[in-house]
Amino acid sequence: MNDIKGKIKDPSRETLQRLVLELPVDPHYANITMVADGIGAPKHGSEKDLQRYLSECDERGIIPSSLVEFKYNLRENTFKNDSEFFVRTACGPENHVIDKTIKGGRIEKIIFETGILPPNDAFSKFKKTHLPSLLRNGYEFGDMEIALNTYSLKGYNEGIYWDGGLRKYGNQVTLEGNLPKGRARELINWFSAIKKSAA
């Protein structure tokens, strides 16, 4: 379990914007999900909640269970969609989902992934170029993971892994784990100031 340095429960849209826009260090990696109108996914196994979800999607012009992911391409210095548009029919009657896709509508979830090291301007580009448009068009922050520190392993588990940073899952955001050396106190104070101003 990561060491939690700070936690904000039920952060407002403005608080989440500040955390992303005012982050005082460049992240090693970011994976940010933006959700159309902040619509909540249906509870698994609840027919009543599934109907609520499908009705909300209809009312708001959202394609239910739709997702598209943009990953940063270092060579081209741009976010690219390397996969196909994705719709899960498991979250609704197949005909309903297909009909909504044909009629058009907003994609429910748009994911931006910056990639891991070397440092690049992907996070800055997301903040300056894409985030304002997403917010203007009614997208809210869903889950996000912003790595401010990473570690690497060799051998069987070779790779680069999260070691600390910002995480938002569900209704809370945390600053946790091992923060960058020489910047930990600054990050904790920054997070605390945003939490205090949000209260």
Q: What is the pLDDT of residues 169-184, one digit of tens each?
A: 989 999 999 999 899 9
Quote the mean pLDDT of the chain: 86
Q: Which residues contact 15 (CB under 8 A, 6 or more apart)?
A: 8, 173, 194, 195, 198
pLDDT tens by residue, 79-121: 888 665 555 554 555 566 667 667 778 889 999 999 876 666 8
Q: How confident is the model at residue 1 (pLDDT cuts 50, 70, 90)?
A: very low
pLDDT of residue 66: 84
> Strand, coil or helix: what is 175?
strand
Domain enclosing residue 66, as ranges: 4-198
Total of domains in the chain: 1
